[in-house]
């Protein structure tokens, strides 16, 4: 998920909001009196009637808000929200609120993940989810070109701004925060516990500054600060990216067996792509053929974009080494997968699922830029070029090992630094790119900041800076964690446990210490082994007592486990239900209600001369995985085996039982 650094708007709007909110301190949520029962399917909360909407026994509501809170532009906007009642008898003791990332994603479409996170806390607490203005069912912005063109362009961004016209500044996060405050007023919700992930952390921090008295606690999962030097250049992006690959390699026996750091392993491929770019095609995680130019910018997209997160981290080092040795396919596949994965739009390009127009409006209204947004676009382009020229001289390694221009070859919504160069100038009443006022107050409420150790989108350093803004903040780093660590797809359950414990009792120091210990124990990412074309060059499985298989059988077993390992990232990133193997073969996958993947595959080839068919049941990051497979070499040597391994354990091992090369096979190998 892309995130955009955003900042707070006008000082006058901030002070006005604080005054208005302090005059409207909310009482606990109320329900209709017993002698006036609500009609079927209607729930009366605070001053509003909500309608059952069939989502986990939730109720739906809308609130009409002025499109322009300053009253200078006409019109209104209907804000959609969902309410999930507390389960215990009596009045609620509080409310849990979530803010989605993006910007552009509607919060209510992530309801399953938020309700799962909040589940143990819901007895005495309500849950409130709001679609920010311009997203989902709160008037999703549909900028035709930006929503449907193959890649975002400066021209498409400019067209979106022109389409929105005078309303463009009115989708600011600042006004979305005020919308939430108005909904809490309507519901009569007292101080709430607010959780935000990714861009939602900016929304949450902004809400805290504008409406701090409305908060009991604040949780920021994958956070970046509102204030700081060099924000417009994303200066922490590259150091965190290098850290991600180097630390993962240090913790991987297969990777650290090659002398040097991971960056040193990757540099030869980068130099080749830099000097000799070429047209390429490869398949993505859904088996779709993607056409692209294989160059330094495509590699930057793999390494900075962190999408698909598991595949890019697990395989980039080994794929780059294979590329340098003449086997281009593994790295080209990663480039194709990254090109597809960084496109945030849903397959139908439906703005209600992801509004590229809202993302553009927020980015260009709220974010600091490397140029002055008050300049007209023509002058802004000249200012951009001057800023880039100065940066090339003063900080040429800003995005090292990539040059500044190689970094700029990534999609605009991942480079961030120039996507708004042609956006229309906002009117003087709604100025763009204003920083947090010097006298803004960061409330002295309990704050938890959760960072992934290997997150380069919102790095640990950004999490530390965000925590430093608040007088009572705690910063917890999830070892080996990626971007966003408390929701369902996190690599460790510890992040969710830390968040729940904090919300339940922010003052529980013993619980905080237990959570920090748990977060420090998340296992490393298992990096891919060396890519090979001939299975006889794979690392053989290790025989255990009772094995009768010969060295060839153990090679078949080792290459089979590697084939399963190559499949796992494709399952994690798959959206179509089917895909293809590295060098051939196909798979299908279904995910059940518990998040467990059930895959069937035919003639998958990780090595050119070994095909693997069978089934796999696998849950990312937890529990036992089981594969029943049939492997066959081009020479006709066969093996049938069951492979079992446990996710979520450090140094996990795969147990292999069956027959290979006509002999009993009992062996082990590093888990795939």
| Residue at token pair 């309303």 | 167
Please provide the DSSP assignment of 611-631 as one string: EEEEEEEE-TTSEEEEEEEEE
Res 566 pLDDT > 90:
yes
| Whole-angstrom distance, CA of residue 489 vs CA of residue 485 | 8
The reported pLDDT for the residue numbered 30 is 43
Identify the residue with better confidence: 513 or 15: 513
pLDDT, mean of residues 531-556: 98
- φ/ψ (deg, to 5) at 146: -65, -35
pLDDT band for 343, please (50, 70, 90 cuts).
confident
CA–CA gap between residue 350 and residue 404 (Å, rounded):
33
Question: What average pLDDT does this structure show over 527-550?
Answer: 97
What is the pairing mode between strands 94-99 and 125-130?
parallel
Q: How far apart are CA 66 and CA 72, in angstroms?
A: 10
Q: Which fold has domain 11-139+173-232+437-519?
A: Rossmann fold (3.40.50)
Tell me, what's the pLDDT at 11? Answer: 27
Contact 457, 306 (CB under 8 A): yes
Does residue 32 have a pLDDT over 60?
Answer: no
Residue ranges of the chain assigned to CATH 3.40.50.1820: 11-139+173-232+437-519
pTM of the predicted structure, to 2 decimals: 0.92
Q: Which residues pair with 221 in a beta bridge?
A: 197, 450
The length of the chain is 672
CB-based contact 644:654 (threshold 8 Å) = yes
Rounded to whole angstroms, the Cα distance separating 226 from 206 reads: 8
Nearest C-alpha neighbor of 226 from the set 447, 24, 377, 422: 447
> Which one is predicted more confidently, 8 or 570?
570
Mean pLDDT of 350-376: 95
CB atoms near residue 94 (< 10 Å): 20
The mean per-residue pLDDT over the stretch 171-175 comes to 96
Rounded to the nearest integer, the mean pLDDT of the chain is 92
Share of the chain above pLDDT 90, in %: 86
* d(C-alpha 524, C-alpha 252), whole Å: 8
Structure tokens, 620: 């990312």
pLDDT for 39: 66
Give me the pLDDT at residue 17, please. 34
Closest CA to 476 of 510, 442, 515: 515
Q: Stretch 346-369: mean pLDDT, rounded?
A: 91
Which residues, including other chains, have CB under 8 Å from residue 482's CB and lie 6 or more apart?
306, 309, 313, 452, 454, 455, 490, 491
* Sheet strands side by side (includes 623-633): 542-543, 663-670, 653-660, 638-647, 623-633, 610-618, 597-604, 586-591, 578-580
Q: Give how far Cα 308 sits from Cα of 85, 112, 169, 285, 667, Å.
A: 36, 21, 32, 9, 31
Per-residue CA distances from 388 to 151, 251, 363, 385, 419 (Å):
23, 37, 19, 5, 14
Q: Are strands 447-452 and 473-478 parallel, antiparallel or unpaired?
A: parallel
- Residue 74 to residue 489: CA distance in whole angstroms: 42
User: Is residue 19 scored above 50 in pLDDT?
Assistant: no
> What does the pLDDT look like over 635-670, one tens digit per residue?
999 999 999 999 988 899 999 999 999 999 999 999
Rounded to the nearest 10 degrees, the angle between the axes of helix 296-305 and helix 262-275 is: 150
| Top-confidence residue, 439 or 358 | 358
**What CA dihedral angle connects 506, 509, 515 and 520, to 10 degrees?**
130
Q: Evaluate if residue 14 carries a pLDDT over 70.
A: no
pLDDT tens, 365-376? Answer: 999 999 999 999
pLDDT of residue 433: 81
Confidence tier at 4 by pLDDT (50, 70, 90)? very low
Could you tell me the pLDDT band of residue 10, with boundaries at 50, 70 and 90? very low
8 A C-beta contact, residue 499 and residue 117: yes
Q: Confirm if 206 and 174 have CB atoms less than 8 A apart.
A: yes
Question: Which is nearest to 163 in space by CA: 423, 430, 350, 351?
Answer: 423
Percent of the chain whose predicted confidence (pLDDT) is above 70: 93
Q: Which two tokens stand for residue 317?
A: 């080092």
8-state DSSP, 88:
S
Tell whether the model's pLDDT for residue 7 goes beyond 50: no
Query: How does pLDDT run across 69-95, given as a tens digit for each residue?
Result: 999 999 999 999 999 999 999 999 999
Average pLDDT over residues 205-224: 96
**Does position 26 have pLDDT exceeding 50, yes or no?**
no
For the stretch 248-266, pLDDT in tens is: 999 999 899 999 999 999 9
């Amino acid at each position: 998920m892309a995130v955009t650094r955003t900042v707070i708007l006008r000082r006058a709007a901030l002070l006005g909001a604080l005054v208005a909110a302090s005059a409207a301190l909310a009482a606990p949520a109320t329900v209709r009196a017993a002698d006036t029962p609500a009609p079927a399917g209607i729930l009366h909360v605070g001053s509003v009637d909500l309608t059952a909407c069939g989502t986990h026994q939730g109720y739906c509501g809308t609130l009409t808000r002025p499109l322009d809170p300053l009253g200078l532009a006409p019109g209104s906007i209907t804000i959609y929200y969902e309410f999930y009642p507390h389960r215990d008898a009596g009045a609620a003791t509080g409310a849990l609120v979530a803010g989605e990332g993006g910007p552009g994603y509607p919060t209510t479409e992530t309801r399953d993940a938020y309700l799962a996170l909040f589940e143990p806390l819901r007895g005495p607490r309500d849950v409130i989810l709001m679609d920010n203005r311009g997203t989902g069912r709160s008037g999703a912005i549909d900028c035709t070109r930006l929503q449907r063109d193959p890649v975002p362009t400066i021209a498409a961004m400019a067209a979106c701004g022109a389409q929105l016209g005078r309303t463009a500044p009115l989708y600011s996060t600042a006004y979305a925060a005020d919308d939430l405050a108005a909904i809490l007023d309507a519901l009569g919700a007292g101080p709430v516990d607010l959780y935000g992930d990714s861009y939602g952390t900016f929304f949450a921090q902004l809400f805290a500054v504008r409406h701090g008295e409305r908060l009991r606690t604040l949780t920021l999962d994958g956070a970046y600060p509102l204030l700081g030097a060099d924000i417009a250049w994303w200066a922490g992006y590259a150091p965190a990216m290098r850290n991600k690959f180097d630390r993962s390699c240090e913790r991987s026996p297969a990777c650290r067996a090659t002398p040097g750091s991971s960056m040193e392993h990757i540099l030869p491929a980068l130099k080749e792509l830099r000097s000799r770019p070429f047209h390429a095609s490869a398949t993505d995680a859904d088996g779709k053929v993607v056409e692209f130019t294989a160059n330094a910018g495509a590699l930057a997209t793999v390494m900075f974009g962190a999408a698909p997160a598991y595949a890019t981290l697990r395989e980039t080092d080994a794929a780059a080494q294979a590329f340098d040795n003449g086997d281009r396919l593994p790295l080209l596949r990663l480039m194709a997968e990254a090109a597809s994965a960084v496109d945030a739009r849903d397959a139908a390009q439906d703005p209600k699922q992801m509004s590229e127009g809202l993302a553009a409006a927020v980015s260009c209204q709220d974010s600091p830029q490397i140029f002055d947004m008050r300049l007209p676009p023509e002058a802004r382009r000249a200012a951009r070029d001057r800023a880039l020229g100065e940066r090339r001289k003063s900080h040429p390694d800003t995005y090292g090992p990539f040059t500044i221009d190689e970094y700029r070859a990534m999609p605009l919504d991942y480079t961030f630094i120039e996507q708004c160069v042609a956006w229309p100038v906002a009117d003087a009443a709604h100025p763009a790119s204003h920083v947090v006022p010097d006298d803004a107050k960061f409330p002295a409420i309990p704050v938890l900041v959760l960072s992934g150790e290997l997150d380069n989108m919102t790095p640990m350093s950004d999490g530390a800076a965000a925590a430093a803004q608040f007088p009572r903040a705690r910063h917890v780093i999830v070892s080996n964690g990626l971007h966003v660590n408390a929701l369902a797809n996190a690599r460790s359950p510890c992040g969710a446990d830390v968040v729940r414990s904090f919300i339940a009792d922010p003052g529980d120091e013993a619980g905080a210490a237990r959570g920090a210990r748990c977060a420090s124990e998340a296992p490393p990412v298992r990096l891919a082994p060396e890519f090979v074309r001939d299975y006889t060059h794979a690392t053989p499985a290790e025989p255990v007592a009772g094995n009768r298989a010969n060295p060839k059988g153990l090679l078949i077993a080792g290459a089979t486990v590697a084939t399963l390992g190559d499949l796992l990232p494709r399952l994690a990133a798959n959206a179509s239900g089917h895909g293809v193997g590295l060098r051939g073969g196909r798979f299908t996958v279904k995910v059940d209600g518990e998040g467990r993947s059930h895959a069937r595959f035919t003639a998958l080839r990780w090595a050119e001369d070994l095909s693997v068919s069978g089934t796999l049941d696998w849950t990312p990051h937890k529990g036992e995985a089981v594969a029943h497979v049939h492997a066959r070499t081009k020479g006709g040597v066969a093996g049938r085996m069951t492979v079992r391994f446990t996710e979520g354990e450090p140094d996990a091992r795969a147990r292999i039982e069956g027959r290979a090369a006509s002999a009993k096979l009992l062996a082990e190998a590093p888990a795939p």
